[in-house]
Amino acid sequence: MLVELDLHGAVVLVTGGVRGVGLGITRAFLSAGATVVTCARRPAEVEGASFVPCDVRDADQVSELVSGIVAEHGRVDVVVNNAGGAPFALADKASPRFHSKIVELNLLAPLLVSQAANEVMQEQGSGSIVNVSSVSGRRPSPGTAAYGAAKAGLDSLTSSLAVEWAPKVRVNALAVGMVRTEQSHLHYGSEAGIEAVARTVPLGRLASPDEVGACAVFLASPLASYVSGATLVVHGGGEAPAFLTAADGGTA
């Protein structure tokens, strides 16, 4: 039986919700009937959603962002901490400042936004926070070591905040695998490279941003009303162990 999620009346903030995975999340909440506010450092338009410029690493800007949403809409029901990412840089070549900025964006910024949102949600009596994490926090992340470490920290932060802020606020995360976006070529190269990478996934393809968005909507919805402190893995089955391709006809 198909269950359609109805979030009419819900006010949702999606950080970095204007492109890539964030855009898929924004579209999913709009499809569910929610009022969606997006933010990013650079202006961008998403049909059906409003936009507020904000650097989520800046506590003052985050406070203004959340208070502005409350002033306009009266409440904040859902926050999706999606803003994040990291360019490729080997750990021994990247500067201390580079590492600091990566951790700041992928771990400390979600904490800042969550703190501001939680204050509102506790007062209104309910709320849901969804942190967009990564499989990089669960396996080696060569070339993006600080990013992987930050995402591992985000998973830990998710479970801790779920305990501290219960019972009024639920806090969950998505550990997202490889997603096909407009920037896939930066990570995987040509179309042939993208297709080759997709074949390493048990489901045989990369995720679409909309599929990640659907999972975010589920965690924020009443269907997940007893789910808190959880990290939902969205990776198409993960990665086949390397030894399977290296083995000479044997089995483990």
- From the list 29, 147, 165, 188, the catalytic residue is 147
Q: Rounded CA gap, 3 and 193, in Å?
A: 36
Cβ atoms of residues 7 and 32 within 8 Å: yes
Active site residue 147: yes
The catalytic residue positions are: 147
